[in-house]
Chain A
């Protein structure tokens, strides 16, 4: 767990490699991500409250997909974890992972 936290929040080099070095486009995507995730987090929170595992799984999957492409490494890891919990129908520990995810997402605003 400690090791996971030590990973960089953001692997800029790897995402720029994917985008052919286009920094402007990257900023645009991060902005889009920032405007997108609050709604998804609200959905996820609702899913957790209602123990609606299908919603948990799908919403976490969507956050995972976007963050993976942007190399937001820690967001990716956490949403991957929550998606897995959603698939297994495991509610234990999901609240904690959600809080960590929310905290991590908060840091992205200050990326650029």
Chain B
């Protein structure tokens, strides 16, 4: 963990740096606000604490503090002002403009260290919170069983892929697929066998797709696949490949092998800039749903195509 100190007065800076180094802090020293800002930009990923003098040439502590706070880093930078202790106006202004704490000058070593500990507590707390948020976000967009996007997340991904297709004027293909007679798998072999089939289906489909294609679990046994930059000819080939990768090889579950098949609806479109993204997404999902329904009606284990203009 690095501490940035900005202080134009040499002796004050050296005393502060020494006190920090004596207690295990890695110190970056700057002689004025501008130099501190240059150092900060280079080392910002490692800087968690900044101790800033108020009055400095080229850039004062207030401006530097605001620049640091506005740098929108992924981690928190705890900023402490060094100030003459009688100067309440400065203290108030410093805190109002983003500083976390202030230290009277000349500092007392024990006070400095305990105030740094306050900063470290906040930094640790913020880090734990940030990590928890990353985990929660991943959980919120992932289907727990299969590890692919859940319903909400696949909608978002499709929306952004479709708007990109509109922007780049490139074709886009949407596939909706449903496992045939999945209820029977659950009823006959049990839910854990059903879960195993779901996982295996996702794995087989993913192995047929490119890494950047979108796949998500839309409902219990329904999945959505979004394929970008693919015209209708190729999208048909892909859909057919998805169908055969499921039905050609039986699924191994506890107590034997079972045959599984899927039905697929496919729509593709060539976007134009007039398209409204939300209308388009809605129209595509409606069309692909109808195509899937037709595939079921026609006897399952097949692909039905449609196109959206």
Contacts and interface: CB of A to CB of B under 8 A. Distances in A.
Interface string B5-37: 000011110111011001000000000000000
A20 B19 contact: yes
A60 to B, nearest CB: 12
Interface residues of A, number: 21
B19 A70 contact: no
A100 to B, nearest CB: 21
Contacts of A19: 15, 18-19, 22
A25 B10 contact: no
A74 interface: no
B159 to A, nearest CB: 57
Given A18-B107, A20-B22, A65-B105, A70 B10 contact: no
A15 B18 CA distance: 12
A69 B22 contact: no
For the residues of A in contact with B, the DSSP-based class is helix
Q: Which of A20, A62, A69 has the most CB of B within 10 A?
A: A69
A22 interface: yes
A18 B10 contact: no
A94 to B, nearest CB: 19
Contact of A62 (B9, B22, B107): B9
Contacts, number: 55
Contacts of A66: 9-12
Interface string A53-69: 00000100110011011
Q: Which of B16, B106, B107 has the most CB of A within 10 A?
A: B106
A3 B168 CA distance: 81
B109 interface: yes
Q: Which of B11, B14, B55 has the most CB of A within 10 A?
A: B11
A18 B19 contact: yes
Contacts of B109: 17-18, 20
B18 A69 contact: no
Contacts of A15: 15
A36 interface: yes
Nearest to B108: A18
A18 to B, nearest CB: 5
Contacts of B10: 32, 36, 66
Contact of B11 (A17, A22, A29, A58): A29
B11 A71 contact: no
A18 B14 CA distance: 11
B55 A69 contact: no
Interface in A11-60: 15, 17-20, 22, 25, 29, 32-33, 36, 58
A33 B11 contact: yes
Given A61-B55, A68-B105, A71-B106, A18 B15 contact: yes
Q: Which of A29, A62, A65, A76 has the most CB of B within 10 A?
A: A65
Contacts of A33: 11
B106 A22 contact: no
Contacts of A62: 9
Contacts of A18: 15, 18-19, 106-109
Interface of B: 9-12, 14-16, 18-19, 22, 55, 105-109
